[in-house]
């Protein structure tokens, strides 16, 4: 672990080597914690991804504040950081992404849902997975100036510009701490609005390694917040203090539309794609709403978002998709997470278990099909043998007839008697 300090900024580079990477379960995994400033941090990785899209298989990596639940009320900390998947064969081909975030009790992790395709990661010729070991790096730079309240953190956002290397051939995936300037404070709140707004647009950064530039156009980079905020909005172009890297047009990462939220029965803001499914099941099962009425608004939003996410997955995923391990693992993860909110889901469990058992069903179906094909083959063989037997029986009758006729014309001779000649003996 490498530590640097410049003025009010402190930067630490932490390396995490993960052995037996291909054997990891799909759930999230945490690195050891490392201290930067007065906080401890961790790298969080989903080996099979966390996008929730059955057809999208990307590695997901985030930065997390360790032991966030034990910190004092109203804590917050701004951090600018890079996350890297190290190429163990050629460090110049390592993939690095940079972002920044104000971490707080409600947003204690931040990172990238689609960091890189799993197909590229698992290709042993690429150099990202060597001897089944994957190496991740996090470089975290924080200001040692603390915020006194969470509302203060929501109102301001610090941007720390980082200069690119002067040598274009050098790898650009690491922050140059010596080039860090003092933070600039930008107000993201409209003074006439009493409601706080939050954006994640500033976290959609272009990849800053040369390798990432060539691959970014093939998949979307998604900034992921594991716990949903109460509201999001699309910022105006002048809201963002970040000057985008000068990339060619075809190299720019594709923008990702923000989730559109809508009120769900006064209980909170929910992804509008989930609301129709939630409305339908709540009409059939009113207890879903009653059990959450005494909960806080934030908890209720998380609960119904988790339920809506699972219902959306079940309605938009086909049975054949569940044959693939990532879909099955993702559904299992959604089901386990939903269990923490104490809904009465006895009505839903059979459907989930049926979906989770789809792979075994296909295996049983394949086995039955093989047995059926074997029976059909034996039946055909029996019919063939019966036809052959019928022909053989006809041939046997003909052979017996020919033999009888031949025997009638045949006169037996004693082969041991002398031949003789005429009447003299």
**pLDDT tens digits along 113-156:** 999 999 999 888 899 999 999 999 999 998 755 543 333 333 33
Is there a domain that residue 416 lies in?
A: no
Angle of CA points 98, 103, 104, to nearest 5°: 170
Q: Say if CB 61 and CB 83 are below 8 A apart.
A: yes
What is residue 156's predicted lDDT score, i.e. its pLDDT? 35
> Residue 396: which residues within 8 A CB-CB, separation 6 or more?
none
Name the range with the highest mean pLDDT among 161-170, 325-334, 396-405.
396-405
What is residue 3's predicted lDDT score, i.e. its pLDDT? 66
Instruction: Indicate whether 42 pLDDT > 90.
Output: yes
Is there a domain that residue 266 lies in?
A: no
Mean local confidence (pLDDT), 316-327? 83
Instruction: Indicate whether 399 pLDDT > 90.
Output: yes
Rounded CA-CA distance 306/302 in Å is 6
Helices in 74-189 by DSSP H: which ranges? 118-122, 150-155
Instruction: Indicate whether 24 pLDDT > 70.
Output: yes
Lowest-confidence range among 176-190, 310-324, 389-403, 410-424? 176-190
Is there a domain that residue 339 lies in?
A: no
Lowest-confidence range among 49-58, 109-118, 258-267, 298-307? 49-58
Host domain of residue 171: 2-258
Angle of CA points 352, 354, 356, to nearest 5°: 70
Is there a domain that residue 212 lies in?
A: yes
What integer best gives the mean pLDDT of the chain?
74
What is residue 320's predicted lDDT score, i.e. its pLDDT? 82
Q: Which residue has the higher pLDDT, 329 or 230?
A: 329
Percent above pLDDT 90 for the chain: 34
Query: Domain count of the chain?
Result: 1
Is there a domain that residue 30 lies in?
A: yes
Rounded CA-CA distance 13/278 in Å is 44
What is residue 282's predicted lDDT score, i.e. its pLDDT? 94
Rounded CA-CA distance 214/250 in Å is 9
CATH of the domain at 184: 2.60.210.10
Tell me the per-residue pLDDT of 246-277, one tens digit each, with 9 for 90 and over: 333 333 333 334 568 889 988 888 898 999 99
pLDDT band, residue 227 (cuts 50/70/90)? very low
pTM of the predicted structure, to 2 decimals = 0.39
Is there a domain that residue 297 lies in?
A: no
What is residue 415's predicted lDDT score, i.e. its pLDDT? 84
Is there a domain that residue 57 lies in?
A: yes
Mean local confidence (pLDDT), 374-382? 93
What is residue 7's predicted lDDT score, i.e. its pLDDT? 56
| Buried b or exposed e, range 235-260, using 16+ CB within 10 angstroms | beeebbbbeeeeeeeebebeeeeebe
Percent above pLDDT 70 for the chain: 69
Name the range with the highest mean pLDDT among 51-60, 257-266, 398-407.
398-407
Is there a domain that residue 149 lies in?
A: yes
Tell me the per-residue pLDDT of 181-223, one tens digit each, with 9 for 90 and over: 323 322 322 333 333 333 343 333 334 443 333 333 333 333 3
């Amino acid at each position: 672990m490498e530590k640097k300090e410049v003025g009010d900024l402190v930067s630490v580079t932490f390396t995490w080597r993960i052995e037996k990477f291909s054997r990891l379960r799909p759930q999230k995994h945490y690195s050891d914690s490392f201290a930067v400033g007065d906080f401890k941090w961790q790298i969080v990785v989903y080996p099979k991804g966390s996008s929730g899209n059955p057809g999208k298989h990307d590695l997901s990596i985030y930065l997390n504040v360790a032991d966030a639940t034990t910190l004092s009320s109203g804590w917050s900390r701004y951090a600018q950081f890079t996350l890297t998947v190290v190429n163990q064969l050629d460090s110049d081909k390592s993939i690095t992404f940079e972002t920044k975030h104000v971490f707080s009790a409600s947003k204690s992790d931040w990172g990238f849902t689609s960091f890189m395709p799993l197909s590229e990661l698992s290709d042993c010729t690429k150099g990202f997975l060597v001897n089944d070991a994957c190496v991740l790096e996090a470089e975290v730079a924080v200001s040692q100036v603390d915020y006194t309240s969470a509302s203060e953190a929501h109102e301001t956002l610090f941007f720390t510009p980082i200069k690119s290397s002067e040598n274009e051939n050098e790898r650009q995936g690491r922050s140059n701490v010596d080039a860090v300037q003092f933070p600039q404070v930008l107000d993201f709140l409209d003074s006439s609005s009493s409601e706080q707004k939050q954006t994640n647009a500033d976290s959609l950064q272009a990849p800053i390694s040369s390798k990432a530039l060539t691959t970014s156009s093939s998949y979307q980079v998604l900034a992921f917040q594991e716990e949903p905020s109460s509201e999001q909005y699309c910022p105006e172009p002048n809201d963002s203090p970040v000057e985008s890297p000068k990339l060619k047009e075809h190299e720019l990462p594709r923008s990702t539309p923000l989730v559109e939220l809508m009120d769900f029965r006064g209980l909170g803001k929910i992804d509008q794609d989930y609301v129709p499914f939630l409305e339908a099941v709540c009409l059939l099962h009113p207890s879903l709403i009653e059990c959450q009425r005494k909960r806080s608004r934030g908890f209720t939003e998380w609960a119904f978002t988790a339920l809506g996410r699972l219902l959306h997955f079940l309605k938009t995923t086909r049975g054949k998709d569940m044959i693939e391990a990532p879909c099955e693992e993702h559904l299992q993860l959604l089901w386990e997470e939903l269990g923490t909110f104490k809904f009465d889901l006895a009505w839903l469990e059979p459907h989930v278990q049926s979906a989770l058992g789809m792979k075994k069903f296909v295996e049983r179906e394949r086995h039955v099909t093989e047995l059926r094909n074997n029976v059909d083959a034996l039946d055909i063989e029996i019919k063939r043998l019966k036809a052959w037997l019928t022909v053989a029986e006809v041939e046997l009758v003909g052979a017996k007839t020919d033999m009888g006729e031949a025997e009638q014309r045949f006169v037996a001779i004693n082969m041991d008697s002398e031949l003789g000649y005429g009447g003299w003996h």
